[in-house]
Amino acid sequence: MNIDSIKNGYVIDHIKEGKGMQIYEDLKLGELNCPVAIIKNAKSNKMQKKDIIKVDGNIQLNIDVLGYIDSDITINVVKDSKIIKKYHPELPEKITNIIKCKNPRCITSIEQELDQVFVLTDKEKRVYRCKYCESKAK
């Protein structure tokens, strides 16, 4: 499988070896109806080994979250079989339902149906805090 086989979608490249599954889960790719491929342990010039995820579908992915998971990832946006955009994700201002607040007294620990929302409070130090109780994400 190569990039040419994707018509419209995303190629998420330079994923750290072994992190492909986590990203698959975090982006909820299992819920998509379109073809999704995870390539594990691909050879890389830049890294020893890497994972690659390909999503073949004309859809909007919540790609911002990748900036939190690993900002070294390369995102290729494919349209009509051409890469129209290639970039590294930036740290998102807000992340929803990716990390859980560890504070047992936080409202999200009591009200389980609440979204887990963390807000970027210090870009330089990559600090995220719970929107509700301001606990720091680890």
Q: By CB under 5 A, name the one of 3, 8, 135, 136 that touches Zn ion.
A: 135
Are 78 and 10 in contact by the 8 Å Cβ rule? The answer is: yes
Q: By CB under 5 A, name the one of 54, 56, 132, 137 that touches Zn ion.
A: 132
Nearest distance, CB of residue 129 and Zn ion, angstroms: 8
Q: Does 130 bind Zn ion (CB under 5 A)?
A: yes
Q: By CB under 5 A, name the one of 8, 96, 103, 121 that touches Zn ion.
A: 103
Number of residues that bind Zn ion (CB under 5 A): 7
Stretch that binds Zn ion, among 6-14, 32-40, 66-74, 95-103 (CB under 5 A): 95-103
By residue count, the chain amounts to 138
Q: Does 55 bind Zn ion (CB under 5 A)?
A: no
DSSP per-residue codes, 60-117: ---TTHHHHH-TT-EEEEEETTEEEEEEPPPPPSEEESSS----TTSHHHHSTTS--E
Nearest distance, CB of residue 108 and Zn ion, angstroms: 5
Q: Does 101 bind Zn ion (CB under 5 A)?
A: yes
Between 76 and 108, name the residue whose CB sits nearer to Zn ion.
Answer: 108
The binding site for Zn ion (CB under 5 A) comprises 101, 103, 106, 130, 132-133, 135
